[in-house]
């Protein structure tokens, strides 16, 4: 496994400055945001790079000069959004990202499944979280049958044609939010669809990342990995449960918040996770993501690097650190 970073956390810096920061930290891989709206393209504009060979060459040279691998291109969006101006834009950016990945030899695209509305007349996405009232399963059936499966079948075939894998990140608020829904999508739409595994979205749902990793491994469905943590507040959770719509900035009153690796769950837990990845034969990047509102980007990044370097068994083969 290569230790890397999702470079959007350095979105306020130029590509060269961001990559210099990554190299200085002793990492080997970089995941690059390429559009999609969440959070967008900070260092890479696929539409521009696909039509300008000089800019494309300069982009690739920035990585080769520093001996850094692009582990994935990320295009987090909602191509199923009921507002067609949004869904069309996110879909176009996704397709451009696939084409760019093929052109520069990147195997994996990270994205969300998206979420449609409850009918053809919706204005906003509708995420179903309960089996009752009876309206809920009816909406869910309509979403998957009419929107989710047709769209992702087409994208699976598009990705396969261009030698790219789609790593869907299970995330509450979208139709794929856990192993069950991820594997349902893969079974219905094709094997070029798998998972970008992010433990932070699973912890607060009371899921065990190690159990989830092992299950995905049985299906050869874990394509990419985000390293991000979650801290659960026992008192707030005991009072209000885990479904929490308060702003992420209201850390004192929320049931849970995102944290830097090691600050929601300790180093031993992250060793369990790394070992599980090793058990299923994962050889991709462990890509650090930062959304910790209690730490600066630099502090969170450096602390995550330290925890993960300690969690990896430090055996160097060539230029790669292996767990």
How far is residue 281 from each of residues 39, 71, 219, 228, measured CA to CA in Å?
30, 17, 12, 21
- Predicted confidence at residue 313, as pLDDT, reads 60
- Predicted confidence at residue 315, as pLDDT, reads 41
How far is residue 21 from each of residues 156, 186, 302, 318, measured CA to CA in Å?
35, 36, 10, 22
**Beta-bridge mates of residue 86:** none
pTM of the model: 0.95
Residue 120, C-beta contacts closer than 8 angstroms, at least 6 positions apart: none
Which residue ranges of the chain lie beneath pLDDT 70? Answer: 313-323
Domains of the chain, first to last? 2-322 (3.20.20.150)
The pLDDT tens digits for 165-200 are: 999 999 999 999 999 999 999 999 999 999 999 999
Q: Which residue, chain included where needed, has tokens 């089996």? A: 131
Spatial distance between the Cα atoms of 302 and 103, rounded to a whole number of angstroms: 32
Element (H, E) at 70: strand 69-74
Which string of DSSP letters, residue by residue, matches 227-267? E-EEEE-HHHHHHH-S---S-TT-TTT-SEEEE-TTSSS-H
- Predicted confidence at residue 139, as pLDDT, reads 98
Residue 107, C-beta contacts closer than 8 angstroms, at least 6 positions apart: 72, 101, 163, 164, 165
CA end-to-end distance (rounded Å), the chain: 6
- Predicted confidence at residue 151, as pLDDT, reads 98
- Predicted confidence at residue 317, as pLDDT, reads 45
Spatial distance between the Cα atoms of 227 and 315, rounded to a whole number of angstroms: 20
């Amino acid at each position: 496994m290569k230790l890397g970073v999702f470079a959007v956390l350095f979105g306020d810096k130029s590509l060269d400055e961001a990559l210099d920061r990554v190299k200085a930290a002793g990492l080997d891989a970089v995941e690059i945001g390429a559009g999609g709206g969440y959070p967008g393209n900070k260092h890479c504009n696929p539409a521009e790079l696909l039509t300008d060979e000089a800019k494309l060459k300069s982009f690739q040279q920035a990585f080769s000069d520093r001996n850094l691998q692009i582990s994935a291109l990320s295009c987090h969006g909602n191509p199923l959004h009921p507002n067609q101006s949004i869904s069309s834009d996110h879909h176009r950016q996704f397709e451009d990202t696939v084409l760019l990945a093929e052109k520069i030899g990147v195997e994996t695209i990270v994205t969300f499944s998206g979420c449609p509305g409850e009918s053809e007349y919706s204005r906003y996405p509708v995420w179903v979280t309960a089996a009752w009232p009876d309206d809920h399963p009816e909406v869910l059936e309509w979403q998957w049958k009419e929107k989710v499966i047709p769209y992702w079948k087409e994208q699976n075939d598009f990705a396969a044609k261009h030698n790219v894998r789609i790593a869907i990140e299970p995330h509450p608020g979208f139709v794929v939010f856990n192993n069950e829904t991820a594997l349902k999508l893969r079974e219905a739409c094709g094997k070029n669809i798998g998972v970008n595994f992010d433990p932070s979205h699973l912890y607060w749902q009371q899921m065990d990342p190690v159990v989830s990793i092992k299950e995905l491994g049985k299906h050869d469905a874990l394509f990419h990995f985000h390293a991000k943590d979650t801290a659960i507040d026992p008192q707030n959770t005991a009072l209000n449960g885990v479904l929490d719509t308060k702003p992420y900035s209201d850390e004192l009153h929320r049931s849970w918040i995102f944290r830097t690796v090691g600050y929601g769950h300790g180093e031993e837990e992250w060793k369990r996770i790394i070992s599980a990845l090793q058990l299923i034969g994962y050889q991709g990047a462990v890509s650090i993501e930062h959304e910790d509102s209690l730490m600066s980007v630099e502090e969170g990044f450096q602390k995550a690097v330290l925890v993960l370097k300690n969690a990896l068994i430090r055996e160097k083969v060539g230029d790669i650190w292996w767990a």
